[in-house]
Amino acid sequence: MDYKYIEQLLERYWQCETSLEEEQILRAFFSQKSVPAHLRQYAALFTYSRGEREEQVLGDDFDSRILALTADKPAPVRARAVNMRSRLMPLFKAAAVVAITLTIGNAARISVGDSRGGRDDINYTGYKDTYTDPAVAYDEVESALELVSEGISSADTASVGGSAGAQHTDSGR
C-alpha cells in the first residue's frame, strides 16, 4: 500500500504547516491497529495526546477532596518582628571583620616590616637654623629646588634619549 499522503502530511507537520484537520487525519491514521513499520516510530507521538486527554479529566468530587485535605491542617504563621539591630547585624559583622584585619595587619607591619622602630631619619638634635633673614632663606630654597628640577629633567632626558641626550648645562651658578 502507498502511504505517500501520510508521509507528505508528516513532512508538513514537522515544518509546522499542517492545519487542524490534517493533524486530525494523522491522529486517526496512527491510532489504527495496523501501522506500517517505517511509520511506527511516530505512532506514540500522535496517540499519546489522545490518551492523555482521556486520563486528565477531573472528577466531580475533586473540589471536595482538596478542601478536605486543606481544612484539616491550619497553616502555621511564622511572623516575627524585625528591629533595626537585627537588620544592621550583617553590617556590624562586616565592620568587625575589617577592624580585626586592619589591626592584625598594622601589628604585623610594625613588628616585622618597620626596622626603624617608628623613628624618623631626621636628626633633630644636630639641626641648626643658619638663616636669620627669611628672604635669604627663600632664595636658597629656590635655588636648591631649581637644581633638583634640573637633575630630574636631565635624568628624564637621559632615560628617553640615551646617553647622547644627557648633556647637562650649568646655568651660571
Taking the C-alpha atoms of residue 95 and residue 98, their distance in angstroms, rounded to an integer, is 5
Mean pLDDT of the chain: 80
Contact 25, 41 (CB under 8 A): no
Task: Please indicate, yes or no, whether the overall pTM of this predicted structure exceeds 0.85.
Answer: no
Q: Quick check: 72 pLDDT over 80? A: no
Q: What's the pLDDT at 126?
A: 72
Mean pLDDT of 59-84: 80
